[in-house]
């Protein structure tokens, strides 16, 4: 191994045997056996506390803390029962002790003393913090009303009493603007209901988070003979031992074991196909809809489309299934594919080859595989829709199984991401929000800047015709989405730093994130392993369960639970009883558990779960849209037609009635559209496409400061040798990446695992720039490079993976 011999040489050069002998003198005085702490004879003194990882990978993996003398010693994970059914924590979860005991923990309430974003704070008492929050809320509610208050998108804490104490408090104080959609599936979840249903009274409604609209991986394991993934890498997004990464390992072994095939379409050879590289079909980032269109073209040319299915179950496939308003205009999907539509371009494999960088014969080969499969399981991830053209791309994937009539049948999928579990055993702390106005989350910066101008038709406001106010209070619990995870940090900084715009920013966290630097009041939160914690299984694992336990050790400094703090704030308004209903956090947890028990006879008693910590059971496989397939008349979709709306008349009308920018269009069909900073937009100054990806060292930005993870999985931009060589960039070189929005510094990973012409940056790294100076981000945060431009329909974060860039050695 060349690297190892290098390592040995380095050692000799650095120290030499003699130097090592000298060093050993000190060593002899050290503890002679570092493993004494774990010796069997001392095991009796250890206590076990169960807890969970509660960050937003959807894993909720299980922690089994070993503590002694009130201090956590180490972690075991779920080791209960069947080894194949254990919610084993991933590398991040296994580093949680480092987070809990990190010297950077926030220990005291603080108030800002520098400019917003500078990160200069001064310790204050809890009394002063609560009084300040009280005064600010009183002023803002009194002056601007509840539609000036926004609880910012924040997903760092998935626990029964995690995010909702804030909502419960602000609900009691008059309410707050609701969060519309989310940064995970913004484009997908807004557009899909037009295709698959939104009206409960009429039929089935769409959600990205269920097992009604998507099939489970266990269904693929049982019955599929071809699995096609688009931008879906469970090995990097859903990494725990009961998460999709493990489900997918079993899918692969079952499908290939019976002679089937896996195809993994991504701009990177992602970790899901490590060791199985024949699965990889490299594609230019942001061009998936072109590939999908060409595949459907081949199905048509080969006579493999299921015309009977398409007639009965869909609207807009061909002229015969178009709504009256659109008949006779060549507006059907088939017309689009065959070159009879507006663009007069046939979507041949040769057409798609130019766009996708995939050779036409490879596209035809994939088309044949799909045509010949008995049970194709097509599953997109959420990265592909997180593009400026995401509203088209996400629907285009679904056209593959729809054109073949392969949905709602054993072993198939609807084109959605793999199903989420059907049951969550315990619910969250309840809250009521009297305000119905809902703001697309990604629009919060615009809402601070000019919220009073934002309406349903120019900014996607729902629940009301207009927002009605600028946002004056940002409430941010356990989130890093003010800057780091939002987008266009340099622009966002300018909006947030202007104290005349947003008048009060409250941030609540465990360490100093980039978002926390914008706080006016910054509160130190207790970690969940430092409290009694309860939560069901996560959404990225297909089983049902609940974990109850803790604390494993006491919270440091003056860290408190957010429930207790919110109760104190409520008390300052004379609303303590209304907030607590006489319950402590622990009593709420027991109450919510017992409410769950009342609905589920199999759950153990409160006393039992307190003793055993974990309860789990398996879920039955699910087939997406099976009810609709079995009975399209009796169990229609909640669309205007009750069918799958390939052509959406509603979207066509929105395109005519909404106020759109000149370069924006709302497409009635799932056409390929390059999108802003998408295919074809590269320039001499920014000649490369750039996309983000989820990285093993972080869950979004959670864990981003843990040194052990930074070392084990380095923050590196992936670049193909074809792009690196002419720029004289070698593996490990520090580089500058520039986009129209900003500049970062990041180490290069020169690798054949990425398609030429596109660079890939792990999202979630911690922004680290002098915002009063050159603004160059030495942390390598991709959102320094993203441009703030909400998508046409969803008003979502499409630009997060649509970037043009240049890279050079720094």
Partner 1 sequence: MTQYAFYFDNSRCTGCKTCELACKDYKDLDQNTAYRKVFDYEGGSWEDKGDGTYETTAFVYHVSMSCNHCDDPACTKVCPTAAMHKDPETGLVSVDADKCIGCGYCHMACPYNAPKVDRVLGHSVKCDGCAERVAAGKNPICVDSCPLRALDFGTVEEMSAKGERANIAPLPESSYTHPNLYIKPCDEARPAGSADGSVINVKEVM
18 or 113: CB nearest partner 1? 18
Query: What is the nearest approach in angstroms of partner 1 to the Cβ of residue 228?
Result: 19
Residues 326-355 that bind partner 1 (CB under 8 A): 353-354
Rounded (to 5) percent helix, strand, coil in the chain: 35, 20, 45
* Residue choice 221, 266, 271, 418 for contact with partner 1 (CB under 8 A): 271
CB 513 within 8 A of CB 700: no
Count the Cβ atoms, other than its own, within 10 Å of residue 746.
26
Q: Which CB atom, from 15 or from 605, has the smaller least distance to partner 1?
A: 15
Stretch that binds partner 1, among 128-136, 157-165, 235-243, 322-330 (CB under 8 A): 235-243
The yes or no reply on residue 574 touching partner 1 (CB under 8 A) is: no
Exactly one of 47, 125, 278, 653 binds partner 1 (CB under 8 A); which one?
Answer: 278
- Does 245 engage in binding with partner 1 (CB under 8 A)? yes
Per CB under 8 A, contacts with partner 1 among 250-269 are 269
Q: Tell me which residue of 84, 75, 420 sits closest to 242, measured CA to CA.
A: 84
Angle, vertex CA 364, rays to CA 755 and CA 278, nearest 5: 50
CA distances from 174 to 144, 477, 620, 634 (A): 12, 19, 42, 42
Give the closest residue to 79 by CA, choosing from 272, 242, 279, 277. Answer: 242
**578 sits near partner 1 (criterion: CB under 8 A):** no
| Tokens describing residue 170 | 């602000």
- Residue from 282, 381, 451, 550 that binds partner 1 (CB under 8 A)? 282
Tell me the three-class secondary structure of 585-607, residue by residue: HHHHHHHHHHHHHHHCCCCCCHH
Q: How far apart are CA 68 and CA 47, in angstroms?
A: 6
Task: Verify binding: residue 536, partner 1, rule CB under 8 A.
Answer: no
Contacts of 242 (CB under 8 A, 6+ apart): 59, 61, 78, 85, 86, 87, 88, 537, 541, 543
Pick the stretch among 31-39, 504-512, 614-622, 788-796 that binds partner 1 (CB under 8 A).
Answer: 31-39
Which residues ranging from 770 to 789 are in contact with partner 1 (CB under 8 A)?
none
Window 722-761: contact mask with partner 1 (x via CB under 8 A): x--------xx----------------x-xxx-xx-----
Name the one range near partner 1 by CB under 8 A: 220-228, 432-440, 569-577, 707-715.
707-715
Q: Find the binding residues for partner 1 in span 373-412 (CB under 8 A).
A: none
| Residue 44 touching partner 1 (CB under 8 A) | no
Provide φ and ψ at 258, rounded to 5°: -105, 25
Q: Considering the rule CB under 8 A, would residue 241 count as an interface residue with partner 1?
A: yes
Asked whether 437 and 468 are in contact (CB, 8 A), the reply is: yes
Under the binding rule (CB under 8 A), the answer on residue 227 touching partner 1 is: no
Question: In the set 70, 81, 114, 359, which binds partner 1 (CB under 8 A)?
Answer: 359
Of residues 94, 105, 297, 417, which one binds partner 1 by CB under 8 A? Answer: 94
CA distances from 695 to 692, 702, 704, 717 (A): 9, 11, 10, 11
**Does residue 601 interact with partner 1 by CB under 8 A?**
no
Stretch in the footprint of partner 1 (CB under 8 A) among 28-36, 378-386, 527-535, 585-593? 28-36
* 90 contacts partner 1 (rule: CB under 8 A): yes
- Residue 710 C-beta: closest distance to partner 1, Å: 7
* CA distances, 554 to each of 530, 540, 551 (Å): 5, 30, 7
Nearest CA to 759 out of 739, 787, 784, 789 is that of 739
Residue 274 binds partner 1 (CB under 8 A) = yes
Closer of 43 and 611 to partner 1 (Cβ): 43
By CB atoms closer than 10 A (0-12, 13-18, 19+), residue 596 is: buried
Q: Which of 77, 67, 79, 78 is nearest to 37 (CA)?
A: 67
Q: Which of residues 83, 578, 611, 734 is near partner 1 by CB under 8 A?
A: 83
Judged by beta carbon, residue 124 or residue 249, the one nearer partner 1 is: 249
Spatial contact of 283 and 267, defined as CB atoms under 8 Å apart: yes
Nearest distance from residue 24's CB to partner 1, in Å? 4
Q: What distance in Å separates the CA atoms of residue 496 and residue 516, rounded to the nearest whole number?
A: 12
DSSP 322-370: S-GGGTTTT-SHHHHHBT-STT--B--HHHHHHHH---HHHHHHHHHHH
Q: Which is nearer to partner 1, 326 or 804 (CB)?
A: 804
Please, what is the minimum distance in Å from the beta carbon of residue 232 to partner 1?
A: 14
Minimum distance of partner 1 from residue 284's CB (angstroms): 9
For residue 720, state whether it binds partner 1 (rule: CB under 8 A): yes
Strand 743-750 versus strand 716-719 pairing type: parallel
C-alpha–C-alpha distance, residues 185 and 174, integer Å: 29
- Using the rule CB under 8 A, is 119 a contact of partner 1? no
> Does residue number 159 form part of the binding site for partner 1 (CB under 8 A)?
no
**CB nearer partner 1, residue 193 or residue 234:** 234
Residue range at the interface with partner 1 (CB under 8 A); choices 91-99, 397-405, 508-516, 517-525: 91-99
Euclidean distance between CA atoms 765 and 782, whole angstroms? 7
Around Cβ 337, how many Cβ atoms within 10 Å? Answer: 29
| DSSP designation for 88 | B
Of 123, 276, 311, 327, which one interacts with partner 1 (CB under 8 A)? 276
For residue 807, state whether it binds partner 1 (rule: CB under 8 A). no
Number of residues counted as binding partner 1 (CB under 8 A): 92
Binding flag, residue 446, partner 1 (CB under 8 A): no
Q: Confirm or reject binding of residue 524 to partner 1 (CB under 8 A).
A: no
């Amino acid at each position: 191994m060349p690297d190892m011999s290098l390592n040995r040489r380095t050692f000799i050069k650095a120290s030499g045997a003699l130097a090592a002998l000298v060093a050993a003198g000190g060593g002899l005085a050290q503890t002679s056996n570092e493993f004494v702490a774990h010796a069997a004879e001392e095991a009796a003194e250890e206590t076990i506390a169960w807890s969970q990882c509660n960050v937003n990978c959807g894993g909720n993996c299980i922690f089994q803390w070993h503590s002694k003398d009130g201090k956590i010693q180490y972690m075991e994970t779920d080791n209960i029962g069947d080894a194949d059914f254990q919610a084993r924590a991933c590398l991040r979860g296994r580093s949680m002790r480092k987070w809990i005991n990190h010297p950077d923990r926030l220990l005291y309430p603080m108030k800002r003393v520098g400019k917003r974003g500078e990160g200069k704070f001064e310790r204050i008492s809890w009394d002063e913090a609560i009084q300040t929050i009280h005064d600010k809320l009183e002023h803002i509610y009194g002056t601007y009303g509840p539609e000036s208050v926004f609880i910012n998108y924040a997903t760092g804490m998935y626990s029964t009493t995690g995010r909702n104490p804030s909502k419960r408090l602000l609900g009691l104080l008059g309410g707050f603007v609701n969060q519309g959609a989310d940064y995970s599936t913004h484009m997908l979840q807004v557009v899909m209901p037009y295709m698959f249903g939104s009206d409960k009274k009429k039929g089935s409604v769409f959600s990205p988070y269920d097992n009604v609209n998507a099939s489970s991986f266990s269904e693929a394991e049982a019955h599929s003979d071809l699995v096609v993934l688009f931008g879906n890498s469970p090995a990097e997004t859903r990494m725990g031992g009961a998460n999709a990464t493990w489900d997918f390992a079993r899918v692969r072994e079952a499908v290939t074991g019976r002679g089937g095939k896996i195809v993994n379409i991504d701009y990177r050879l992602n970790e899901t196909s490590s060791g199985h590289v024949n699965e990889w079909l490299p594609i230019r980032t942001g061009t998936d809809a072109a590939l999908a269109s060409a595949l459907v073209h081949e199905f048509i040319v080969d006579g493999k489309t299921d015309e009977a299915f398409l007639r009965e179950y869909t609207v807009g496939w061909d002229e015969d299934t178009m709504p009256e308003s659109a008949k006779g205009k060549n507006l059907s999907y088939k017309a689009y594919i065959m070159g009879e539509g507006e663009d007069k371009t046939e979507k041949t494999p040769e057409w798609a080859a130019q766009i996708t960088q995939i050779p036409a014969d490879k596209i035809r080969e994939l088309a044949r595989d799909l045509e010949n499969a008995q049970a194709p399981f097509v599953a997109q991830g959420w990265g592909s829709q997180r593009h400026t053209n995401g509203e088209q791309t996400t629907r285009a994937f679904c056209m593959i199984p729809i054109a073949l009539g392969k949905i709602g049948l054993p072993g198939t999928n609807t084109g959605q991401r793999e199903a989420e579990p059907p049951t969550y055993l315990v619910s969250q702390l309840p809250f009521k929000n009297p305000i119905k106005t809902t703001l697309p989350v990604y629009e919060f910066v615009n809402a601070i800047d000019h919220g009073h101008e934002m309406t349903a038709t120019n900014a996607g406001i729902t629940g009301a015709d207009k927002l009605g106010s600028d946002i004056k209070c940002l409430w941010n619990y356990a989130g890093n989405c003010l800057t780091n995870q939002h987008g266009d940090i340099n622009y966002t900084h300018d909006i947030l730093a202007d104290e005349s715009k947003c008048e009060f920013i409250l941030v609540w966290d465990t360490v100093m994130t980039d978002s926390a630097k914008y706080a006016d009041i910054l509160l130190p939160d207790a970690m969940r392993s430092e409290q009694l914690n309860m939560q069901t299984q996560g959404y990225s694992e297909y089983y049902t369960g609940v974990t109850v336990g803790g604390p494993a050790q006491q919270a440091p400094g003056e860290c408190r639970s957010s429930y207790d703090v919110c109760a104190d704030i409520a008390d300052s308004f004379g609303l303590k009883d209304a907030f607590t209903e006489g319950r402590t956090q622990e009593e709420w947890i027991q109450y919510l558990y017992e409410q769950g028990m009342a609905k589920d006879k199999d759950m153990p008693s409160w006393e039992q779960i307190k003793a055993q910590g974990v309860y789990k059971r398996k879920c039955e496989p699910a087939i997406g849209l099976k009810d609709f397939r079995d009975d399209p008349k009796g169990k229609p979709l909640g669309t205007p037609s009750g069918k799958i709306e390939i052509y959406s008349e509603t979207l066509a009308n929105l395109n005519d009635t909404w106020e759109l920018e000149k370069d924006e269009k709302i497409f009635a069909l799932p056409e390929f559209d390059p999108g802003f900073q998408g295919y074809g937009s590269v320039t001499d100054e920014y000649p490369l496409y750039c996309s983000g990806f989820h990285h093993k060292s972080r869950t979004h930005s959670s864990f981003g400061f843990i040194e052990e993870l930074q070392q084990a999985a380095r923050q590196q931009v992936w670049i193909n040798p074809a792009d690196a060589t002419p720029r004289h960039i070698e593996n490990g070189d520090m580089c500058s990446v520039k986009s129209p929005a900003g500049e970062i510094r990041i180490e290069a990973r020169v690798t054949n695992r990425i398609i030429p012409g596109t660079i890939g940056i792990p999202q979630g790294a911690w922004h680290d720039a002098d915002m009063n100076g050159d603004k160059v981000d030495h942390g390598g945060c991709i959102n320094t490079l993203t441009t703030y431009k909400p998508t046409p329909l969803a008003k979502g974060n499409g630009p997060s993976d649509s970037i043009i860039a240049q890279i050079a050695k720094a």
